[in-house]
Structure 1
Amino acid sequence: MFADTAQFGSTLQVAIFIGLTALVGVLTWAKVRTQTRQARSDGGSQQDVYLAGKGLSWVFVAGAITLTNLSTDQLVGMNGNQMLLLAWWEIAGFAGLTILAFIFVPLYYRYNCTTVTQLLERRYNGRSIRTLISALFLLGNVFIYLPAALYSGGLFLQSLFGGSIPLIGFSILLAIIGAAYTVFGGLRAVAVMDTYSGIGVLGLALLIVFLALQAVDFDIVTNVPAERLTMVGRSDSPIPFHTLFTGMLFIQIFYWSTNQNITQRAMAAPTVQEARKGVMTAAIIRILVIPPIVVVPGVVAYKLFGDVGDSAYGMLVAQVMPGWLAGAFAAMVAAAVITTFSAVLNSTVALYSVDFHEQFVGKVTNHWKLGAVVSAIVTVTSVMLVPMYQNAESIINLLQQLNGLLSMPILSAFVAGLLFRNVDARAAIAGVIWGVGLYGVFSFWWQPAGLVALHYIDFMVVTLVTSIMAALAFNRVVLGQRATFLGLSAFRRASADGGPDNPEALTAGSAAQSAAQSAPAAD
């Protein structure tokens, strides 16, 4: 680490860091305390705890979606690749958010969903598919998203403040603060903190881009290999160019449109129109603001320090940012980690409480109390898993590859349920199991000798298509039911309005099942 890094460990920097972190918490509590007290006095319903009482305006929806996604996974992980090519992950996110706004949001509102898995249950008229997909989301959150956020956040703070404090120490601090927001304020507090923190995070991140470019006289081309500057990836790069037209789109649809961690924020608005405004605002931020802050500092760090991997962002900040401002930036980055952690934690609690506890244990009389217990268990587990990520060559590439185990199989259940009628829930489960097994074998165990290995983004398309085919084949051959293709009629009817309705095209299953589903199920 560089000599002037020591200034970041000064008493002044620590004081600024602690002060701003506390200020965000105080401002958040001042904003939500009245509604939170009322919600707690009313007994802690699903809607109060997990959907902020359906009271988020479009501003807070946009802020919550932006900061739930933007964390050190992006700031550290993407800049850690030290190439411009990684910006495609963020640019392509615009398409995923647009699909969420105009296709999936109306469906979630029409079916009165608290969790995305409720949509599957009501489309398939079967509880089993809901339970399976919820379990996969829970496993992904506990073993992938939460510990990875704590690891990348801890790594950044350690790079910024120096190595005297172990990475796990920073991770524990971030986890405790993040859990506190979920336990005491629910989604309402998380969304408000996201928005307040987002202003500071985006502003200071853009400042880092400017200072980084200034440090190299606005020349990032000289002495930087062409492969780190191109936006057209080769076949052996992290994002080969052709994959933008294969698996990339489906990855974005899964992440932005069917992922509980993101969609829960959109479902917390009072109306479809308000949710759509928030989602599209987040989409505009995604394509205009996010790409430069997640790749330019990494390329500049390559020019200054060489290939330093995931340490690039922290080292660059320590080099170019004025000492008095470093504590402020550390506080904002910590806030981004905290909001991501608390948001995913809140979604995890929602999935367990709504999809498992009420089904297999008993009715929840107070979701605040249950949420506190589950939050504590999940937080401890996530901290214990942080060391698992310390040997990763690239945290962002590892995350994307691990996500493939769940993303395409889960998306196949949504596609089969929304585009076809008369598909049994058991058939959807068969498709999901096929997809998880296929992707796991291909990516982590065995690839046929003599065959050209597909890039994992390409193989996600193979996984998605064959999972849908497996579900339809199981439905026809084993269960003796013939699926009927609906096309886009379900989406068109749902987009017409967000209120309860029951056109036949909107319901999977038989005509008799459609009649039984004439009103959204009450939670």
Structure 2
Amino acid sequence: MEVEGFALDPIQIGVFFGLTALIGGLTWWQCSGGRARGNAEDKNSAHDYFLAGNGLPWFFVAGSITLTNLSTDQLVGMNGNQMLLLAWWELAAVAGLFILAFVFIPVYYRNNCTTTTELLERRYNNPHIRALISIIFMAGSLLIFLPAALYGGSLFMQTMFKVDIPLMVIAFFFATLGAAYAILGGLRAVAVSDTFSGVGLLTLALLVVFLSLKAVDFDIVTDVPMERLSMIGADGSPIPWHTLFTGMILIQIYYWSTNQTITQRAMAAPTVREAQKGILAAAGIRLLIVPVIVVVPGVVAFKLYGDINDAAFGTLVGDILPGYLSGAFAAMMAAAVLTTFNSLLNSVAALYVVDIHQRYFQPNANVPRVATIFSLIMTFAALALVPVFQNAESLINLLQELYGLGSMPVLSAFVLALMFNNVDYRAAMAGVVFGVAFYGLYTFYLSPEGIVTMHFIHFMAITFFATLAFALAVNRVAFGKTATLRIGKHEGEAAAPAE
């Protein structure tokens, strides 16, 4: 079989489609068995529909958290930097997962939250800030994460199979199948397929590490510049060492503890303890396995091919794995793309249906129907934005830099809610708007023009504290309220309503 002059190995293609079908079959079997055992959800209850009836055991929580995060933006993007330094993103994530397990998850369960933003409504005693944060989450998914997942997965398939199939064609395949999972199967199908795919992906990714090292006689030092091997980032590197003590931990708290896409998996467990077991298992995987697989192949690719950026991982896998194994790995990568995409779709649908549609338009809406329509709209919009990412020099660096537009302002709203009493919701909303504008000014003007040369991770920390200070000042000056530290108070206690 050939595609525009490039031969496709029939064994490779057969293994790819065979394993993809196997994962789908196992997912259907497990989900059907779960319903038969009494884990059925009330499909028109938003809480049950989006949280799988609170029936996910810890191992599915761990698997879904791992593979929802571990997709092509990590494997393709981080290896595309072709340096060991990028492992810090994954190592620092362990701290974020511990904070999720022991700080945020007990609060979410105590307040019986369907979305993370529901906590904000309870604390500020007003739905509007909940809606604002949901809109920011949805915008981030639409403009950044959904198209990035499609682009990264399509690029990997294109470079690994060495075909000239247009990226948009491959992206359409991923988008169609991913949307079908999210719409027809719901969170349970997403979590189960995540776990099955995760076992295969992590196993084969470790094999890629071993075979890539073997290809260079286990020597990645010779002929590789030291800046690509050092774990202490210089000022001009993607992660200068001093940023680990400023914005890095804040980014991890935001991503793992307030991001609906991640926390939704943990909130779907039957108990806090079961959720914590899953989160800690995911942290163990993040610490022991993920850092190696997202950086070592990239450095080996630099030694073999030179600086080829985001094409590094797909090119290396296509060269070092035999046809049947590369087909298997491609199937696992495809599953990773699909689960990341459908997890994002499922979470943004939850935010829209629960926080926007039922609140402002139709309280008794048909949840599956509204979720389906919204998911389809987001799918087509994400496809339209894929070409934007083709012009990025580095996928992962672009994603991390754009995080700050919403992440630090959103995190400030959660911190104000959990740490302070007597904060008016309008002050918190003003802080969020200020934070988005403040970081946007840096990203699109001050940094490109060289007016501010500070690393974006440092500026994220500045944005976070500036947003907190602005909100507290507005709270005092505009609304005449003095915020007090919330020490020894019950987390579910609501703030005083706005006057």
Q: Does 1:22 align with 2:8?
A: no
Tell me which amino acid in the other structure corresponds to 2:493: T
What SS does the aligned partner of 1:482 have? Answer: coil
Q: Say which SS state the counterpart of residue 179 (structure 2) adopts.
A: helix
* 1:18–1:331 CA contact under 8 A, matched in 2: yes
Question: In structure 2, what residue type is equivalent to 1:369?
Answer: R
Task: Identify which of 490, 495, 499 aligns with 1:509.
Answer: 495
2:435 match: 435
2:239 aligned with 1:253, yes or no?
no
Deviation at residue 36 of structure 1 after TM alignment: 5.5
Q: How does 1:209-220 map to 2 (within 5 A)?
A: 209-220=209-220
Matches within 5 A, 1:310-389: 310-389=310-389
User: Deviation per CA, 1:199-244, whole angstroms, max 9, x where unpaired?
Assistant: 0000000000000000000000000000000000000100000000
Q: Percent identity?
A: 58
Alignment partners' CA distance in 2, 1:240 and 1:147? 28
Alpha carbons of structure 1 residues 449 and 141: separation in structure 2 relative to 1, 3 Å? closer
Q: Following the alignment from structure 2 to structure 1, what is the Cα–Cα distance between the partners of residues 364 and 196? A: 32
| 1:462-498 residue CA offsets vs partner (Å, 9 max, x unmatched) | 00001000110000000111111124x35xxxxxxxx
| Contact 2:232–2:241 (CA under 8 A) maintained in structure 1 | yes
Deviation of the 1:364 alpha carbon: 3.9
Q: C-alpha distance in 1, partners of 2:448/2:304?
A: 42
Shift of 1:39: 8.1
Supply the distance in 2 between the matched residues of 1:462 and 1:357 (Cα, whole angstroms).
Answer: 34
Q: Which amino acid aligns with 1:407?
A: S
Structure 1: how far apart are the matches of 2:113 and 2:89? Answer: 28
Question: For 1:225-264, what aligned pairs fall within 5 Å after superposition?
Answer: 225-264=225-264
Residue 285 of structure 2: aligned partner:
285
CA contact (8 A) 1:40 1:368 kept: no
Structure 1 residue 509: Cα displacement? 2.1
The C-alpha deviation readout for 1:224-283, integer Å capped at 9, x for no partner, is: 000000000000100000000110000000000000010000000000000000001000
Q: Which residue of 1 aligns with 2:460?
A: 460
The AA in structure 2 aligned to 1:161 is: F
Aligned-partner Cα distance in 2 for 1:447–1:206: 38
Using the size of structure 1 for normalisation, the TM-score is: 0.91
**TM-superposed deviation, 1:40:** 8.0
CA distance in 2, matches of 1:148, 1:426: 33
- In structure 1, distance between residues paired with 2:323 and 2:11: 9
User: C-alpha distance in 2, partners of 1:171/1:448?
Assistant: 30
Cα deviation for residue 44 of structure 1 reads 2.9
Amino acid of the structure 1 residue aligned with 2:369:
K
One-letter code aligned to 2:183: V
Task: In structure 1, give the amino acid aligned to 2:213.
Answer: L
Listed as ranges, the matches of 1:59-208 within 5 Å are 59-208=59-208
Q: Secondary structure at the match of 2:287?
A: helix
Q: Tell me which amino acid in the other structure corresponds to 1:143.
A: L
SS of the counterpart of 2:268? coil
How far residue 19 of structure 1 moved from its aligned partner, in angstroms, is 1.1
* Deviation per residue, 1:424-443 (Å, 9 max, x gap): 11000011111101100012
Contact 2:96 2:252 in 1 (8 A): yes
Counterparts of 1:453 and 1:507, CA distance in 2: 42
Q: CA deviation at 1:33?
A: 2.2
Could you tell me how far apart the structure 1 residues matched to 2:33 and 2:332 are?
Answer: 26
1:357–1:364 Cα contact (<8 Å) kept: no
Unaligned runs of 5+ in 1: 491-502, 515-523
Matched position secondary structure for 2:295 = helix
1:43–1:365 contact (8 Å) kept in structure 2: no
Offset at residue 506 of structure 1 (A) = 4.5
TM-score normalised per structure 2: 0.96
Check 1:316–1:267 CA distance in 2 against 1; reply closer, same or farther (3 A cut): same
8 Å contact from structure 2 (residues 183, 372) kept in 1: yes
SS at match of 2:294: helix
Q: Which amino acid aligns with 2:289?
A: V
Q: What is the distance in 2 between the residues matched to 1:198 and 1:39? A: 23
The one-letter code sitting in structure 1 at the alignment partner of 2:107 is L
Deviation, structure 1 residue 55: 0.3
Taking the aligned partners of 1:165 and 1:452, their CA distance within structure 2 comes to: 41
Judge conservation of contact 1:412–1:468 (CA < 8 Å) in 2.
yes
DSSP 3-state at the match of 1:235: coil
**2:19 corresponds to which letter in structure 1?**
L
**Secondary structure of residue in 2 paired with 1:481:** coil
Deviation track 1:176-205 (CA, whole Å, cap 9, x = no partner) reads: 111111111100000000000000000000
The residue type paired with residue 80 of structure 1 is G
Q: What amino acid is aligned across from residue 315 of structure 2 in structure 1? A: M
Partner of 1:302: 302
Q: How far apart, CA to CA, are the structure 2 residues paired with 1:43 and 1:466?
A: 42
2:364, 2:193 → 1: CA distance? 27
Structure 1 residue 368 displacement after superposition: 1.8
Q: 2:144 aligns to what SS in structure 1?
A: helix
Q: Does the CA-based 8 Å contact 1:129-1:428 persist in structure 2? A: yes
CA distance in 2, matches of 1:241, 1:217: 30
1:419–1:485: 8 Å Cα contact kept in structure 2? yes
Counterpart code for 1:297: P
Q: 1:451 to 1:345 in 2, by over 3 A?
A: closer
Query: Following the alignment from structure 1 to structure 2, what is the Cα–Cα distance between the partners of residues 449 and 372?
Result: 43
Equivalent pair of 1:76/1:312 in contact (CA under 8 Å): yes
Supply the RMSD in Å over aligned alpha carbons: 1.8
The size of the alignment, in residue pairs, is 493
Structure 1 segment 355-504 matched on structure 2, within 5 A: 355-446=355-446, 453-487=453-487, 489-490=488-489, 503=490
Amino acid at match of 1:25: G
Following superposition, the deviation at residue 450 of structure 1 comes to 8.6
* CA distance in 2 between partners of 1:282 and 1:295 (Å): 19
CA distance in 2 between partners of 1:323 and 1:374 (Å): 39
Q: CA separation in 1, counterparts of 2:171 and 2:155?
A: 8
Q: Do the aligned residues in 1 keep the contact of 2:42 with 2:49 (CA within 8 Å)? A: no
Q: Give the CA deviation at 1:417.
A: 1.0
Distance 2:251 2:154 in 1: 27
Answer yes or no: is the 8 Å Cα contact 1:117–1:130 preserved in 2. yes
Supply the AA of the counterpart residue of 1:285: I
Deviations 1:351-391 (A, max 9, x none): 01001110121024432222221111111111111001000
Q: Hey, what's the Cα distance between the residues in 1 that align with 2:350 and 2:267?
A: 13
Name the aligned partner's letter for residue 204 of structure 2.
Answer: L
2:218 aligned counterpart, secondary structure: coil
Residue 452 of structure 1 and its aligned partner are, at CA, apart by 5.5
